[in-house]
């Protein structure tokens, strides 16, 4: 790490030591960064969930607000990671009224929360609160990852107004084994019993879920981040983005046991959603009932939600106005990569612009 050919030896050594100390501090104390900095206020809460309204810089130009729905794993500030790398900030700047439903951190008392509760009790009520706060008649549901799966199910259960548009970003819809890659293999009934995990842990620890996600690409997820960190420190490159991303990656939340059983059993192992066999409190979730305009987005490098999983929404929903867009990015790169900012976000704005008047 001794850089600078013209530096005196003492300065070079001091520089090397400073960089070494910086790297070791990060490794020992963890990545720290200021994330989720866009101003917001809580307009509704239920148990651990919070519904946030982001403060717009000016009066919204569009009548239809956007409700962002994130997954039950990891934290939603990936949608508002850093200034300049925030989808929330971008949408606000384009004149949209933006809301976010944060599911919160479940405790042991929440181990019985299932998709029925999250969709029919939390999300349904959140939509009502958004309409009341925005004084709008319709709302756009924007789901990311599992949040998109949940949004699609909500749209199937409650088609028509007040649901105006549906946006699914890297959202798995079809969980057929041939479409899910390594996840399909690992969750095979022969090898994986979700009930044992729930019996042992109640809520599945975030670290366990994170381990499963990282093992999809072990070298890239375990070794490359550290190598990248040292390289950026040695080259005096900015570390803000790396720190924010690594903070988020290591900031998982427990997965409620009942919802975990459903996610593995009903979705991955039995693929009930794509087959039309999913039922929530006795109500059948039929994606063909979705009739609102839909935009589905997938990443060609996404190993968590494979492209066929996201693209399945196109053949399963009943919407006439539907579109599928592919970006050359991974699961998180769809939100934070430079390519996402240049290509995906403007595409998203154009699509929403004409459907949010």
Partner 1 sequence: MSEGAKTHTSSSADAAEIWKRWFETSSGMWSALLEGSGGIPADPYALYDVWLKGVGAALERMKAGAPGVMDFNEAWKQWLEAWRKGDPSGLAAPWLEMMEEAKNRMLAGGAMPADPLAWFMQWYEAASETWAKAAGDVIGSEQFMEAASQFLEGYTSVAGTLRRANEAYFSSLQLPTRSDIARVAGLVVALEEKVDRFEDAFDDFADVSARAATHDAGAPLEERLAGLERKLDALSAALGKIETAQERGKRLDRLEGKLDSVLAALAKSQTEERPGPVKPAEAARRTPRAKSARQPEGKGPLSE
Give min distance, CB of 231 to partner 1, in A: 6
| 162 preceded by a cis bond (ω within 30 of 0) | yes
- Assess 218 for contact with partner 1 (CB under 8 A): yes
- Assess 220 for contact with partner 1 (CB under 8 A): yes
Q: Which is nearer to partner 1, 29 or 190 (CB)?
A: 190
Q: x/- site string to partner 1, residues 273 to 312, per CB under 8 A?
A: ----------------------------------------
- Assess 20 for contact with partner 1 (CB under 8 A): no
Report yes or no: 253 and 74 within 8 Å, Cβ to Cβ.
Answer: yes
- Assess 22 for contact with partner 1 (CB under 8 A): no
Q: Tell which positions 32-91 bind partner 1, by CB under 8 A.
A: 46-47
Give min distance, CB of 184 to partner 1, in A: 11
- Assess 219 for contact with partner 1 (CB under 8 A): yes
- Assess 350 for contact with partner 1 (CB under 8 A): no
- Assess 124 for contact with partner 1 (CB under 8 A): no
Catalytic machinery residues: 145, 302, 331
Give min distance, CB of 87 to partner 1, in A: 29
Q: Is the dihedral of CA 176, 177, 179, 181 positive or negative?
A: positive
Q: Which is nearer to partner 1, 46 or 349 (CB)?
A: 46
SS (H, E, C) 28-50: HHCCCCCCCCCCEEEEEEECCEE
Stretch of residues binding partner 1 (CB under 8 A), selected from 21-29, 32-40, 74-82, 216-224? 216-224
Rounded Cα distance between 49 and 27, Å, is 31
Rounded Cα distance between 288 and 317, Å, is 4
Give min distance, CB of 43 to partner 1, in A: 13
Kindly state the DSSP code that residue 114 receives in the 8-state scheme: -
- Nearest 5°: phi and psi at 344? -75, -50
Q: Is the dihedral of CA 346, 351, 354, 357 positive or negative?
A: negative
- Assess 207 for contact with partner 1 (CB under 8 A): no
Residue 151 buriedness (CB in 10 A; 0-12 / 13-18 / 19+): buried
Give min distance, CB of 202 to partner 1, in A: 8
Q: Is the dihedral of CA 271, 275, 277, 279 positive or negative?
A: positive
Near partner 1 by CB under 8 A: residue from 32, 61, 132, 315: 132
SS (H, E, C) 238-293: CCHHHHHHHHHHCCCCCECHHHHHHHHHHHHHCCHHHHCCCEECCEECCHHHCCCC
Residues whose CB is less than 8 angstroms from the CB of residue 127 and which lie 6 or more positions away in sequence, other chains included: 67, 139, 141, 154, 162, 163
Near partner 1 by CB under 8 A: residue from 108, 236, 321, 328: 108
Near partner 1 by CB under 8 A: residue from 170, 179, 197, 329: 197
Closest CA to 61 of 28, 91, 36, 40: 91
- Assess 133 for contact with partner 1 (CB under 8 A): no
Residues lying near partner 1 in the complex (CB under 8 A): 1, 46-47, 107-111, 125, 132, 182, 185-186, 188, 190-192, 196-197, 199-201, 215, 217-220, 223-224, 227, 231, 234-235
């Amino acid at each position: 790490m001794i850089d600078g050919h013209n530096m005196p030896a003492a300065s070079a050594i001091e520089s090397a030591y400073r960089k070494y100390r910086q790297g070791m501090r990060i490794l020992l104390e963890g990545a720290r960064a200021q994330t989720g900095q866009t101003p917001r206020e809580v307009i509704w809460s239920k148990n651990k969930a919070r519904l946030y309204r982001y403060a717009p810089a000016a009066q919204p130009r569009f009548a239809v607000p956007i409700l962002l729905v994130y997954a039950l794993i990891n934290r939603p500030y990936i949608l508002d990671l850093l200034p300049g790398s925030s989808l929330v900030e971008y949408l606000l700047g384009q004149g949209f009224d933006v809301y976010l439903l944060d599911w919160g951190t479940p405790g042991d008392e929440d181990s019985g929360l299932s998709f029925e509760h999250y969709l029919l009790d939390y999300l349904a009520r959140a939509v009502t609160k958004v309409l009341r706060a925005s004084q709008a008649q319709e709302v756009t549901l924007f789901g990311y990852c599992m949040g998109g799966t949940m949004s699609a199910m909500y749209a199937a259960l409650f088609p028509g107004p007040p649901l105006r548009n549906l946006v699914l970003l890297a959202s798995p819809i079809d969980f057929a084994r041939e479409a899910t890659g390594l996840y399909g293999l690992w969750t095979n009934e022969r090898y994986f019993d979700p009930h044992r995990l729930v019996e042992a842990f109640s809520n599945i620890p975030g670290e366990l879920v994170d381990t499963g996600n990282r093992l999809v690409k072990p070298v890239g997820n375990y070794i490359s981040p550290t190598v990248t960190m040292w390289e950026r420190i040695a080259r005096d490159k900015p570390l803000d983005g790396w720190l924010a991303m690594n903070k988020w990656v290591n900031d998982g939340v427990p997965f409620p046991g009942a919802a975990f059983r459903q996610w593995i059993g009903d979705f991955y192992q039995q693929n009930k959603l794509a087959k039309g066999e999913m039922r929530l409190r006795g109500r059948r979730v039929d994606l063909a009932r979705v009739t609102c305009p839909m935009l589905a987005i997938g990443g060609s490098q996404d190993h968590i939600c494979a492209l066929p999983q996201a693209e399945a929404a196109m053949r399963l929903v009943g919407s006439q106005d539907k579109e599928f867009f592919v970006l050359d990015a991974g699961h998180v790169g769809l939100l934070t990569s430079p390519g996402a900012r240049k290509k995906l976000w403007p595409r998203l704005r154009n699509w929403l612009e004409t459907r949010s008047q």
